[in-house]
Structure formats: C-alpha cells, structure tokens
C-alpha cells in the first residue's frame, strides 16, 4: 500500500513586454499596428477620464467612485479578446476601461457617478451588465449567462471581472465551481491589485497566487503581468478561444496594482507606505506601451502628446454633454421596478406627487 502521487500542478506566469517596452517576439500576440494604437488610445482615454472624474468629484459634481488608475491594461487587454455585441461582460466596479472600449458614452458614466439612474441604460446590442457593487455576487450571473450561451448553441462567452478581495467570498467559490462542473464558456478575470481597500493580499489569502485557486475547480489558472497589455491580451485570447471551442472556463489572475485610493472616499496613506506604492508607479502600463510603440516607430513624442490631447478633448466634450442633461423626473423612481406598476406603487406615486406639488 504505497503512497502515490495522484496529481501534480504548476502555475505559470506570462510576461511578454518588459518595462522598457522590449517584447519577447515568440510570445507576442497577433495584433496589428492599428489594433495596438486602438488599445493605447483606449488606455489613455481611460486614464484621462479617471483623472477628470477625480477633479469633478473633488468639486462636488460627482459622487464617490472607484478609480482605475494603473489597471487599464488588465481589464482593457482582457476585454479586447472578446467580441463586442456577441460576448458578455459582467463587471464589478473597477473596469471603466472595458466600458469605454465597448463604447459606453462617457457622459452616461458621468451621469451614473453623479447619481442619475438614466446613465445606467445599456446601449442596444451591447451585452454588458451594469456595475455591480456587492463583492463577488455578480460572478454567479456570468455562470448563468455562459450556460445560456452554451445551451442556445451561440459561440458566445462571458467575461466576469473582480478583485483579489472577491476571492475570499463564498460566491467566488460557488461561481468557480459552477463554471467547472458545467464546463461553461467563460473567463474569470481577477484584477489582483493587491489591496481590498486597506487589506493587503497576504491578509486576504494564504495562497501564493490567485491563479492556483483554479486547480480546485478543475479549470486552468494562469497569472499574467497585469500591466503588460500584450501578455494580458495573449492569455485572454487563449482563454476566450478555449471557452468558445468548448474547453470550459479559465481563471486569469492579472497581477497589477491599485495606484489610486480605493475610492474617492478613501485615503490609502492611512494603511499603505510609499515604499509599497513607488515601485508600481514605475510599472505604469501606459508609458510602458508607449515605449514599445516608440521603439517600433508607431508613435513619436508628438504622437504621445496628440493622443493625450485628443483624450482630454473627448472627456471635455463628455463633461459638457453631461452638464446639459436635464434633471430627472422624480416619477422615475417608480419606473423599472416591475414591468407594470403594482397598485401599491401607484399609490406611493400619488404620495410623491403630493411632495413634488403636482398632487395638491
């Protein structure tokens, strides 16, 4: 009765591009210059939007929101491996770049962050769920959607995105298990930004990587340099192709860092040192891609300025459009609760009209 090894596992980390913008050509994904430029412009726009939103929040024109600075490559690179209109995006709340990539109007996002529910309207033909705040709960929705795609015979996949803190939630485990058991066409993307508000990764889990958690659910898991857009896209494309081909789900751990506070209501200096933050400032995914593009002759110094200025202009236009939105009618409170208003809602609408003055 010997002791036998039943299984052995290993976890890979994928890097394609170093900080200076040099790439390993053997690992470089198939992306045209035009595509690379699109990715770069989307990342820069996301950064500019994030920075302008912060200013608007500080001026009291927006409510609390979660910044995405530093994580642009992680979620934009993954979403880029999906097909807009066909595949599904099931986000948490730190995926602004993915929304931008799929064409969500910036003014809609501004409206939502100012507390205007009309901004939550989803554009027709875009398969994206609204921002979901309760941690890890939305992963389960992605399992049901992925199951539906499989059942209907659509070659569509679902991408769901969450942070390292979410991996401690029961719903993470339940969703991973459903994904594995039903072999669902989906991607679990963990943006491991090392911080769940104030709690660092090593206090969140004793596991050396998030990626290895995939093993327990019978699916592949891989860690990728989350600030390396090419590495991120490479693993996401592999995962998407596998899912589409019936190979089931993948857990991708995009190893990155939250350069900002958790939200605009947070102050990371209370729990995080400069020594922790500084090395990651140098790993910023945007200048890294710019260096690659400059080396390849896709971009010069003027081009860097031009892309940034175009982004600033787009954001300025969106802010203008946002500020021109008329105030919402309070009666909207009763819309979209049920398909048809129930009797109690009709009655409560009359109470509201009394407050607004219409019912006097």
Partner 1 sequence: MARLNMVQAIDQALQQEMERDETVIVLGEDVGKDGGVFRVTEGLVERFGEDRVIDTPLAESAILGFSIGAAIAGYRPVAEMQFSGFSYPAFDQMISHAGRMRKRSQGTWTVPLVMRTPYGGGIRALEHHSESMEAIWAHIPGIKTVIPSDPYDAKGLLTAAIRDPDPVVFYEPKRVYRAIKMEVPEEPYDIPLGKAKIVREGTDATLIAWGAQVRTCKAAAEQMSEEKRGEVEVVDVRTLNPFDRDTVIGSVRKTGRAVIVSEEPPTASFTSEIMAQIMEHAILKLEAPARRVTGFDTPTPLAKLEDWFLPDVDLIVRETLKTLEF
| Contact letters for partner 1, residues 84-103 (x by CB under 8 A) | ----x-x-------------
How many Cβ atoms are within 10 Å of 73's Cβ, its own excluded? 31
The span of 12-20, 244-252, 306-314, 332-340 binding partner 1 (CB under 8 A) equals 332-340
Catalytic residue among 13, 19, 271, 341: 271
CA-nearest of 213, 204, 193, 206 to 168 is 204
271 labelled catalytic: yes
Can you tell me which of 21, 63, 130, 247 binds partner 1, judged by CB under 8 A? 130
262 labelled catalytic: yes
Alpha-carbon distance of 235 to 224, in angstroms, equals 7
Alpha-carbon distance of 351 to 52, in angstroms, equals 39
Residue 65 makes contact with partner 1 by CB under 8 A: no
Beta strands in 152-268 (DSSP E): 158-163, 186-192, 195-196, 199-200, 221-225, 250-255
Can you tell me which of 82, 146, 222, 349 binds partner 1, judged by CB under 8 A? 146
Residue 132 makes contact with partner 1 by CB under 8 A: yes
CB of 140 to partner 1, least distance (A): 2
332 labelled catalytic: no
196, containing H or E segment: strand 195-196
The span of 146-154, 222-230, 234-242, 288-296 binding partner 1 (CB under 8 A) equals 146-154
Q: Report the residue number, 134 or 245, with the smaller CB distance to partner 1.
A: 134
Q: Report the residue number, 186 or 190, with the smaller CB distance to partner 1.
A: 186
The span of 70-78, 246-254, 312-320, 330-338 binding partner 1 (CB under 8 A) equals 330-338
Alpha-carbon distance of 100 to 44, in angstroms, equals 11
Can you tell me which of 45, 149, 166, 187 binds partner 1, judged by CB under 8 A? 149
Residue 272 makes contact with partner 1 by CB under 8 A: no
Alpha-carbon distance of 218 to 221, in angstroms, equals 9
Torsion angle defined by CA atoms of residues 328, 331, 332 and 334, in that order, rounded to the nearest 10 degrees: 160
Burial (0-12, 13-18, 19+ Cβ within 10 Å), 149: buried
Binding to partner 1 (CB under 8 A) within 152-211 occurs at 152, 158, 170-171, 174-175, 177-178, 181
Do 159 and 189 form a contact (C-beta atoms < 8 A)? Answer: yes
Residues 6+ apart with CB under 8 A from 134: none
Residue 142 makes contact with partner 1 by CB under 8 A: yes
CB of 218 to partner 1, least distance (A): 12
Burial (0-12, 13-18, 19+ Cβ within 10 Å), 15: middle
In the complex, which residues of this chain contact partner 1 (CB under 8 A)? 88, 90, 117-118, 120-122, 129-130, 132, 134, 137-149, 151-152, 158, 170-171, 174-175, 177-178, 181, 335-339, 342-344
């Amino acid at each position: 009765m010997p002791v036998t090894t039943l299984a052995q596992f290993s976890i890979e980390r994928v890097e394609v591009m170093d900080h200076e913008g040099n790439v390993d050509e053997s690992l470089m994904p198939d992306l045209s210059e035009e595509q690379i430029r699109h990715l770069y412009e989307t990342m820069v726009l996301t950064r500019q939007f994030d920075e302008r939103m912060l200013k608007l929040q500080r001026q009291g024109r927006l409510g609390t929101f979660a910044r995405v600075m530093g994580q642009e490559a992680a979620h934009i690179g993954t979403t880029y491996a999906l097909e807009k209109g066909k595949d599904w995006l099931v986000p948490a709340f730190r995926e602004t770049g993915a929304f931008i990539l799929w064409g969500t109007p910036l003014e809609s996002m501004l409206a939502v962050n100012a507390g205007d529910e009309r901004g939550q309207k989803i554009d027709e033909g875009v398969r994206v769920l609204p921002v979901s705040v309760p941690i890890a709960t939305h992963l389960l929705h992605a399992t049901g959607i992925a199951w539906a795609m499989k059942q209907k015979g659509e070659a569509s996949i679902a991408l769901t995105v969450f942070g390292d803190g979410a991996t401690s939630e029961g719903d993470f485990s339940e969703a991973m298990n459903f994904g594995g058991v039903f072999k669902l066409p989906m991607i679990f993307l963990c943006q491991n930004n090392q911080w769940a508000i104030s709690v660092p990764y090593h206090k969140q889990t004793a596991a050396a990587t998030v990626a290895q958690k995939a093993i327990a659910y019978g699916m592949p898991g891989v860690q990728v340099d989350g600030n390396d857009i090419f590495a991120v896209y490479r693993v996401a494309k592999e995962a998407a192709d596998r899912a589409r081909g019936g190979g089931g789900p993948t857990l991708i751990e995009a190893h990155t860092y939250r350069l900002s506070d958790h939200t605009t209501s947070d102050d990371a200096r209370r729990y995080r040192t400069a020594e922790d933050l500084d090395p990651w400032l140098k790993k910023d995914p945007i200048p890294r891609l710019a260096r690659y593009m400059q080396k390849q002759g896709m971009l010069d110094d003027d081009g860097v300025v031009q892309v940034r200025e175009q982004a600033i202009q787009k954001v300025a236009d969106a802010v203008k459009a946002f500020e021109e939105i008329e105030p919402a009618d309070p009666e909207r409170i009763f819309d979209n609760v049920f398909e048809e208003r129930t009797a109690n809602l009709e009655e409560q609408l009359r109470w509201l009209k009394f407050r607004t003055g219409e019912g006097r």
